[in-house]
A and B are shown apart, each in its own frame.
Chain A
């Protein structure tokens, strides 16, 4: 497609596009690497990179607060947890669990169909609506996109939105926010309950087992 458009895309390309391509391609590549890697530690590593690149995309989309949250919570919190889990269970036989060939075929089929459905939808949505307002929409979009990608402050508005103060482009979210916080508490308690000490084991038996095995 590059050749077909020739000099045209050279003119349209800008810093934003370059950065988007960088992060987008990284995201896609590492997502696929997660799928195709068999070693679970490497999978975790690729996932980290994929999600970090996603946060870059968030920044590019002007969602700086979400991007940082992605880094703090997702990459710095959830994934560390995940890596912990990987390391706790990373016994040699489980580091690389091979997938059966049949599974691959079915998964590729399902994935392919999903992709075939999703991508055209993406193109349809991305197209400017046919009926009206396209002059304004397109030009503004180009104007914005071709300028330097500045970070638009969103933290305050998001914060107010979470506190239930509706803004001009944000609704009040006090109730979901509270529900989420209760949910989080419940989940933490539940997770601690699930992973808590519950088996009583006589040490000597254990050491004998180890000696025997």
Chain B
């Protein structure tokens, strides 16, 4: 699109790039801010239903649609309190650090083929890396609040998140290994076709891996039963005890953003991302979205986007369900769960998937016939992959093996 603006309309290139970057950034911001508004409302409704009550019903019509907005306005108008003795600069900046980490990781998250803020080759890695930075916001908040409860929360969060990055990383590596790429767009597209192509159903090991991933994801975004950093019955409110108003709400936007992010990541890695359970788009348009162009591409992508959002929201809903059902674990039990259960299980699954691949056992994709174009599965080992030269790339980048790179560029340009 930017190329089109430059070449056809003669716009000033830096301006175009800046505009494009801002457009992408604001779209992502919309997703995270709008998303958290919806999710907070949803959390209340889900909690209400689970607890045999109605949840918000008044603000904004029948279902209390505008409750979160009203709350947002309330939070905006609240006094920005800062405890005496707090490290003023760090106290002010900590919520933004947490928010930026959550927000930053959305940059590399594709919502459908080619619809991604920044198409990074190592997107999986990037998303996990940036999401891991959220812990700094929490640690700084805990330290800077000059409150002992906050400090407890921060230390818990640090210990917990750092521990859970290990099994989380192991779980993420498994689909990456099957796909042979760290590019989320490609991983998603490799699972197109029937739902049996999803890596969840790839083999029994990936099936278990998904649940380990979900557990670790719950822990790494601090949701119950792993919400020890804010454990309200123990630590008052944990790391955000001293926060109020807008700064407090930034922590929550970050939390809900991260919840959506890990669910979305899980759905790309295991649940086929934007590919529905049946290849509807492929039947209609005859091709998978990554092979299409123009209007059909947009249409197919919108379908995919809906499937993707649905899966991610489902993941978030299950998180809420868990939160309102289970009691909270103790910190030593959380760490035990990580090191004694999740990590060994993930490691065994890792070995299991490797063995499955090496032995050439049938995977889920073999069960149902899959669509020809969309589901070209890449073999697990690199040796079988052709050493091609990307034709659409400048010679500086001429060493990529990624044959689909050009296609994606085209898709992006067309989109």
**In the complex, A touching B (Cβ < 8 A):** yes
A residues engaging B (CB < 8 A)? Answer: 13-15, 18, 39, 41-42, 45, 48, 52, 64-65, 68-69, 71-72, 75-77, 79-80, 83-84, 87, 90, 140, 143-144, 146-148, 150-157, 160, 167-169
Some 12 contacts from A to B, beta carbons below 8 A apart, are A15-B17, A41-B90, A45-B140, A65-B125, A71-B129, A72-B125, A76-B133, A144-B394, A146-B13, A153-B401, A153-B402, A155-B122
Establish whether residues A153 and B17, one from each chain, have CB atoms under 8 Å apart when the complex forms: no
Establish whether residues B394 and A147, one from each chain, have CB atoms under 8 Å apart when the complex forms: yes
Establish whether residues A13 and B397, one from each chain, have CB atoms under 8 Å apart when the complex forms: no
Establish whether residues B162 and A80, one from each chain, have CB atoms under 8 Å apart when the complex forms: yes
**Residues of chain B lying within 8 A (CB to CB) of residue A90:** 143
Establish whether residues A83 and B17, one from each chain, have CB atoms under 8 Å apart when the complex forms: no
Confirm or deny: B379 has a beta carbon within 8 angstroms of a beta carbon on chain A: no
**Residues of chain B lying within 8 A (CB to CB) of residue A156:** 382, 400-402
Instruction: Given A15-B18, A42-B87, A84-B158, answer yes or no on A151-B130 (Cβ-Cβ < 8 Å).
Output: no
B106-139: CB near A (< 8 Å → 1, else 0) gives 0000000000001111100110111011011001
Establish whether residues A153 and B143, one from each chain, have CB atoms under 8 Å apart when the complex forms: no
Nearest 3 CB-CB pairings of A with B: A15-B17, A71-B129, A76-B132
Establish whether residues A48 and B136, one from each chain, have CB atoms under 8 Å apart when the complex forms: yes
**Residues of chain A lying within 8 A (CB to CB) of residue B61:** none
Instruction: Given A68-B126, A87-B155, answer yes or no on A15-B14 (Cβ-Cβ < 8 Å).
Output: yes
Instruction: Given A41-B90, A48-B136, A72-B129, answer yes or no on A155-B121 (Cβ-Cβ < 8 Å).
Output: yes
Confirm or deny: B323 has a beta carbon within 8 angstroms of a beta carbon on chain A: no
Interface hits, B1-52 → A, CB 8 Å? 2, 13-14, 17-18, 21
Known: A45-B140, A71-B132. 4 other contacts (CB 8 A): A75-B133, A146-B13, A153-B401, A167-B399
Per the bound structure, the CA–CA distance linking A44 and B162 in Å amounts to 17
**Residues of chain B lying within 8 A (CB to CB) of residue A65:** 121-122, 125
Establish whether residues B129 and A14, one from each chain, have CB atoms under 8 Å apart when the complex forms: no
Instruction: Given A14-B14, A80-B162, A87-B155, answer yes or no on A151-B121 (Cβ-Cβ < 8 Å).
Output: yes
Per the bound structure, the CA–CA distance linking A48 and B143 in Å amounts to 15
Instruction: Given A41-B143, A42-B87, answer yes or no on A68-B122 (Cβ-Cβ < 8 Å).
Output: yes
Per the bound structure, the CA–CA distance linking A144 and B397 in Å amounts to 10
Report B146 CB to chain A, min CB distance, Å. Answer: 11
Per the bound structure, the CA–CA distance linking A26 and B2 in Å amounts to 27
Choose one: B13, B21, B87, B119; the contact of A41 (CB below 8 Å). Answer: B87
Per the bound structure, the CA–CA distance linking A147 and B165 in Å amounts to 36
Confirm or deny: B358 has a beta carbon within 8 angstroms of a beta carbon on chain A: no
Per the bound structure, the CA–CA distance linking A152 and B395 in Å amounts to 11
Confirm or deny: B182 has a beta carbon within 8 angstroms of a beta carbon on chain A: yes
Confirm or deny: B89 has a beta carbon within 8 angstroms of a beta carbon on chain A: yes
**Residues of chain A lying within 8 A (CB to CB) of residue B154:** 87
Report B404 CB to chain A, min CB distance, Å. Answer: 11
Per the bound structure, the CA–CA distance linking A153 and B120 in Å amounts to 8
Establish whether residues A14 and B140, one from each chain, have CB atoms under 8 Å apart when the complex forms: no
Instruction: Given A41-B143, A76-B129, A76-B133, answer yes or no on A152-B400 (Cβ-Cβ < 8 Å).
Output: yes
Establish whether residues B132 and A83, one from each chain, have CB atoms under 8 Å apart when the complex forms: no
**Residues of chain A lying within 8 A (CB to CB) of residue B326:** none
B136-158: CB near A (< 8 Å → 1, else 0) gives 10011001100000010011001
B residues engaging A (CB < 8 A)? Answer: 2, 13-14, 17-18, 21, 87, 89-90, 93, 118-122, 125-126, 128-130, 132-133, 135-136, 139-140, 143-144, 151, 154-155, 158, 162, 165, 182, 382, 394, 396-397, 399-402, 405
Establish whether residues B382 and A71, one from each chain, have CB atoms under 8 Å apart when the complex forms: no
**Residues of chain B lying within 8 A (CB to CB) of residue A157:** 399
**Residues of chain A lying within 8 A (CB to CB) of residue B132:** 71-72, 76
Per the bound structure, the CA–CA distance linking A147 and B14 in Å amounts to 10
Per the bound structure, the CA–CA distance linking A156 and B125 in Å amounts to 13
Establish whether residues A42 and B90, one from each chain, have CB atoms under 8 Å apart when the complex forms: yes
Report A144 CB to chain B, min CB distance, Å. Answer: 5
Per the bound structure, the CA–CA distance linking A154 and B183 in Å amounts to 12
**Residues of chain A lying within 8 A (CB to CB) of residue B2:** 148
Instruction: Given A41-B87, A72-B132, answer yes or no on A153-B14 (Cβ-Cβ < 8 Å).
Output: no
Per the bound structure, the CA–CA distance linking A18 and B399 in Å amounts to 27
Per the bound structure, the CA–CA distance linking A71 and B132 in Å amounts to 9
Establish whether residues A13 and B136, one from each chain, have CB atoms under 8 Å apart when the complex forms: no
Establish whether residues B17 and A14, one from each chain, have CB atoms under 8 Å apart when the complex forms: yes
Per the bound structure, the CA–CA distance linking A156 and B401 in Å amounts to 8
Establish whether residues A83 and B158, one from each chain, have CB atoms under 8 Å apart when the complex forms: yes
Establish whether residues B399 and A168, one from each chain, have CB atoms under 8 Å apart when the complex forms: yes
**Quick one: closest A residue to B396, CB to CB?**
A144
Report A14 CB to chain B, min CB distance, Å. Answer: 5
**Residues of chain A lying within 8 A (CB to CB) of residue B400:** 152-153, 156
**Quick one: closest B residue to A95, CB to CB?**
B87
Instruction: Given A71-B126, A76-B132, answer yes or no on A150-B158 (Cβ-Cβ < 8 Å).
Output: no
Instruction: Given A52-B133, A151-B120, A155-B121, answer yes or no on A42-B14 (Cβ-Cβ < 8 Å).
Output: no
Establish whether residues B139 and A83, one from each chain, have CB atoms under 8 Å apart when the complex forms: yes
Per the bound structure, the CA–CA distance linking A152 and B120 in Å amounts to 9
**Residues of chain B lying within 8 A (CB to CB) of residue A79:** 136
Report B363 CB to chain A, min CB distance, Å. Answer: 23
Establish whether residues A153 and B87, one from each chain, have CB atoms under 8 Å apart when the complex forms: no
**Quick one: closest B residue to A59, CB to CB?**
B120
Report B290 CB to chain A, min CB distance, Å. Answer: 17
Per the bound structure, the CA–CA distance linking A151 and B405 in Å amounts to 11
